[in-house]
């Protein structure tokens, strides 16, 4: 069976309109989490429900724009269980009507459990760094376009492929120099470690630093156009008829 990047879900309005949901694009997920952050100051059950309703209104910017004008649109078109279901699908905020815990307690605990499982919170996620890697593809004119185009599952899947392709290319180049990259550096090493390892390869063990001139040998030298060995080429353009 073919693998999938993410799953989808369908919900219905009270009038029977079916709305298909997929993971929120980063732009809307950012707005969603900013709105949910107000849960910290919610004092009553009604305050908490209003905050989640506002979060769901934001999701409709992607799922069904005509219902995103106001929270009244959400209240008129969805019952409370469906509102909770949308919040759960969009951001992992789990709330049940029949729970003895308050809406605020349930919502905050569900995000805490998610953070414990994934090892990162929305606040601690270095999203700018992740997006910067994707931006290097050169297919987005700015970060706003990127965030409108990708959801978190799409971003992470793209990053995984980019990093794997980059690693496989480096592994191939290292193998040509007789180096087992998996054994030598491991997949968790940073760029500096990789560059230093290449320096050792290209200098045949004479250099341990990528900034050392001894690393400018062989294929690396040729690639850069200068170096020790293969970096300097010449052509003999003398007329053979004039040579003894």
User: What is the domain partition of the chain in residue ranges?
Assistant: 9-120, 126-176, 179-244
Q: What was the pLDDT predicted at 28?
A: 96
Residue 222, φ and ψ in degrees, nearest 5: -65, -40
Mean pLDDT, the chain cut into blocks of 10 residues (244 residues total): 81 96 95 95 95 97 96 96 95 91 93 83 88 92 95 91 86 81 61 59 52 52 51 52 55
> CA 74, 65, 151 angle in degrees (round to 5)?
105
Q: What was the pLDDT predicted at 199?
A: 61
3-class DSSP state of 138: coil
Q: What was the pLDDT predicted at 57?
A: 97
Q: What was the pLDDT predicted at 1?
A: 60
Strand residue runs (E) in the chain:
9-12, 18-21
Q: Which residues contact 114 (CB under 8 A, 6 or more apart)?
A: 92
Q: Residues 95, 100, 104, 107: is their CA dihedral positive or negative?
A: negative
Q: Which residues contact 78 (CB under 8 A, 6 or more apart)?
A: 11, 13, 14, 56, 86
With contact defined as beta carbons under 8 Å apart, do 57 and 75 qualify? no
Q: What was the pLDDT predicted at 233?
A: 47
């Amino acid at each position: 069976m073919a693998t999938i990047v993410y799953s989808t879900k369908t919900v219905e309005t009270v009038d029977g309109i079916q709305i298909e949901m997929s993971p929120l694009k980063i732009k809307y997920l950012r707005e969603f989490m900013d709105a949910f952050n107000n849960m910290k100051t919610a004092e009553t059950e009604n305050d908490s429900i209003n905050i989640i309703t506002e979060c769901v209104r934001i999701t409709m910017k992607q799922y069904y724009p005509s219902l995103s004008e106001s929270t009244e649109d959400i209240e008129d078109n969805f019952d409370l269980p469906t509102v909770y279901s949308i919040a759960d699908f969009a951001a992992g905020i789990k709330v049940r009507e029949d729970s003895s815990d308050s809406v605020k307690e349930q919502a905050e605990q569900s995000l805490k459990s998610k953070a414990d499982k994934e090892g990162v919170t929305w606040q601690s996620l270095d999203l700018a760094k992740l997006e910067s890697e994707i931006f290097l593809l050169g297919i987005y004119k700015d970060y706003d376009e990127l965030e409108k185009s990708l959801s978190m599952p799409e971003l992470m899947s793209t990053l995984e492929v980019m990093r794997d392709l980059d690693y496989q290319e480096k592994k191939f180049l290292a193998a040509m120099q007789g180096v087992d990259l998996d054994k030598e550096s491991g997949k968790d090493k940073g760029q500096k470690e990789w560059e230093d390892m290449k320096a050792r390869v290209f200098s045949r063990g004479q250099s341990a630093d990528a900034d050392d001139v001894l690393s400018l040998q062989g294929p690396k030298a040729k690639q850069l156009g200068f170096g020790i060995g293969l970096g300097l080429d010449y052509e003999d353009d003398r007329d053979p008829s004039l040579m003894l």
